[in-house]
Amino acid sequence: MTSQHKSFGVREQADKYTEFVSRGFGKDLAKRLGLPQPAILRRYSPQAPLVEGPILVVGAGAGADAVATVLLGWHQDVRRHATPKEKLGAIVVVLDELEHPTGLSAPMLAVGSALRDLNRNARVVSISRQATTDDEPGIAAARAGVDGIIRSVAKELRAGATANGVVLANGIAADSPSVMSALRFFLSGRSAFVDGQFLTASSEGSTEAPDWEAPLKGSVAVVTGAARGIGAAIARTLARDGATVIAVDVPAAGDHLAAVANQIHGTALQLDITHPQAGERILEHAIQRYGRLDIVVHNAGITRDKLLANMDAARWDSVIAVNIDSQLRMNKAFLASEHFTQNPRIVSVASTSGIAGNRGQSNYAASKAGVMGMVRSTAPLLAARGGTVNAVAPGFIETDMTAKIPFATREVARRLNSLQQGGKPSDVAETIAFFASPNAAGVSANILRVCGQNLVGQ
């Protein structure tokens, strides 16, 4: 306990299998036997370049030109045409002007011919428009088509490369700040374990010059369940991005909580979030100590797995109480507070179990699907005060909890995604930090999976 505080940040290693097949004999063996060859993923650090190599911007319209201009402003090496054999760090395909599925051909074939030139851990990011029921059927078909393309390309890519897309609501320009912040997230190492997913930008976002180095500077964040695992990673990541963090967990986890709080120069608040006054207690602490509260991360959650046929009230009720009822109650308190009105952010941790369901987790899936429902209906309440609310849905993440899964089951579970490995707590944390940032002002009501494109669910 004594030597930990002085070091800062998280050091996480790839799993042993991934290390083994990444070099030398193990690499040859895996190749010969056709075994999965997960890559060591490129993860974010403030010092690392945004992408490793030039960015090819595909698309003929004004939107593509505007996006290329923004990328140049970020001091990126931008190409409007691929040079054969030149290695690329990313491909950005701008499809905001699509009018018919036949219009997909030219840009996608251009992307396809450049895919072989992608570096390891490269990115493919699409920018397209949302398909709605108001659209003319041909336009809707074209826009919806992008969804299928990106999810397929994500499965085609190898060596840690990912494909994701930004979807623009009607009337939003391709180069508006919220779209660019989402694009930057997908290009960067922050999205290492996000694959085959879409972020929707529903408004233009903030026009203030973004601080990409310390986006959360000056803000105060509360993270529940911060004593260990994903919650501790969220607390550390928000602190690295400049936030002052109030780390919350149940009193029984106070020793681990204290270690996290001290490491990031935050404060530890021992609190059971199912307490009726939990929201008020958090506000009271934040206001007294820091005079403000900007970011709420609802991470605390429990599992009490049992087949529904064998379920008892204690298991069912405790999962609902901790995972969703507490969030609903705390959000009410936050929304009632005059101190949570300056562009506030709420980010909840959902789960792929809430999207695809999971045998033996009917109670947990109910709570996590419930979180998603809550996020969508809370978004308009926050929009009124310039705020956003989003959720992340982690897939298989390497934590103390998943380390307890029997070896064979765990080994299968962590390979069942396009990146053929489990994610890190920091992958979930980076996504949350993105949602929490002022740059993501126009991104609300999103449920983003951090699952390496897990084979189950959407």
Partner 1 sequence: MTTPTAAGSENVGTKTTGARSAGIRKAVVVGGNRIPFARSGGAYAHSSNQDMLTAALDGLVARFGLADEEIGEVAAGAVLKHSRDFNLTREAVLGSALAATTPAYDLQQACATGLEAVIGLSNKIKLGQIDSAIAGGVDSASDAPIAVSEGLRTILLDLSRAKSLGDKVKIASRIRPKHLSPDAPSTGEPRTGLSMGEHQALTTAQWKISREAQDELAFASHKNLAAAYDNHFFDDLLTPFRGLSRDSNLRADTSVEKLAKLKPVFGKELGDAATMTAGNSTPLTDGASTVLLASEDWAAARDLPVLAEVVDGEAAAVDFVHGKDGLLMAPAFAVPRLLARNGLTLDDIDYFEIHEAFAGTVLSTLAAWEDEEFGTTRLGLDGAFGSIDRAKLNVNGSSLAAGHPFAATGGRLVASLAKMLHERGAVDGRPARGLISVCAAGGQGVVAILEAR
Residues that bind partner 1 (CB under 8 A): 1-2, 5, 247, 251-255, 257-259, 261-272, 275, 288-291
Which residue type does 128 have?
S
CB 284 within 8 A of CB 271: no
Rounded to a whole number of angstroms, the minimum distance from the CB of residue 293 to partner 1 is: 14
Cβ neighbourhood burial of 45 (10 Å; 0-12, 13-18, 19+):
exposed
CB 221 within 8 A of CB 69: no
- Rounded distance between C-alpha atoms, residue 400 and residue 216, angstroms: 28
Residue closer to partner 1 by CB (options 74, 290) is: 290
- Rounded distance between C-alpha atoms, residue 440 and residue 49, angstroms: 20
CB 255 within 8 A of CB 270: no
290 is an active site residue: no
Q: Which of 190, 241, 238 is nearest to 41 (CA)?
A: 190
Residue closer to partner 1 by CB (options 101, 254) is: 254
Residue closer to partner 1 by CB (options 133, 288) is: 288
Residue closer to partner 1 by CB (options 176, 267) is: 267
Following CA atoms 407, 408, 413, 419 in sequence, which dihedral angle do they give, to the nearest 10 degrees?
A: 90
Residue closer to partner 1 by CB (options 159, 287) is: 287
Following CA atoms 312, 318, 320, 324 in sequence, which dihedral angle do they give, to the nearest 10 degrees?
A: -170
Rounded to a whole number of angstroms, the minimum distance from the CB of residue 222 to partner 1 is: 13
Which of 17, 44, 290, 364 is flagged as catalytic? 364
Rounded to a whole number of angstroms, the minimum distance from the CB of residue 400 to partner 1 is: 15
Rounded to a whole number of angstroms, the minimum distance from the CB of residue 408 to partner 1 is: 30
Residue closer to partner 1 by CB (options 268, 346) is: 268
* Other residues' Cβ atoms within 10 Å of the Cβ of residue 137: 9
- Rounded distance between C-alpha atoms, residue 232 and residue 400, angstroms: 12
Q: Which residue(s) pair with 295 in the sheet? A: 221, 345
Rounded to a whole number of angstroms, the minimum distance from the CB of residue 287 to partner 1 is: 9
SS3 423: strand
Residue closer to partner 1 by CB (options 156, 284) is: 284
Question: CA 6 from chain center: how many Å?
Answer: 28
Residue closer to partner 1 by CB (options 308, 401) is: 401
Cβ neighbourhood burial of 441 (10 Å; 0-12, 13-18, 19+):
buried
Rounded to a whole number of angstroms, the minimum distance from the CB of residue 229 to partner 1 is: 17
Those residues whose C-beta lies under 8 Å from the C-beta of residue 222, and which sit 6 or more positions away, are 245, 246, 248, 269, 282, 286, 293, 295, 296, 297
User: What single DSSP character describes residue 404?
Assistant: G
In the numeric block, the tokens 């960015």 are attached to: 55
SS3 253: helix
Rounded to a whole number of angstroms, the minimum distance from the CB of residue 246 to partner 1 is: 9
The distance between the two most distant Cα atoms of the chain, rounded to a whole number of Å, is: 64
- Rounded distance between C-alpha atoms, residue 364 and residue 324, angstroms: 10
**CA dist 291 to 140, 240, 276, 284, 342, Å?**
47, 21, 23, 9, 12
Which residue type does 441 have?
A
Rounded to a whole number of angstroms, the minimum distance from the CB of residue 294 to partner 1 is: 16
- Rounded distance between C-alpha atoms, residue 271 and residue 248, angstroms: 6
Rounded to a whole number of angstroms, the minimum distance from the CB of residue 278 to partner 1 is: 11
Residue closer to partner 1 by CB (options 104, 226) is: 226
User: What single DSSP character describes residue 74?
Assistant: T
* Residues with catalytic roles: 364
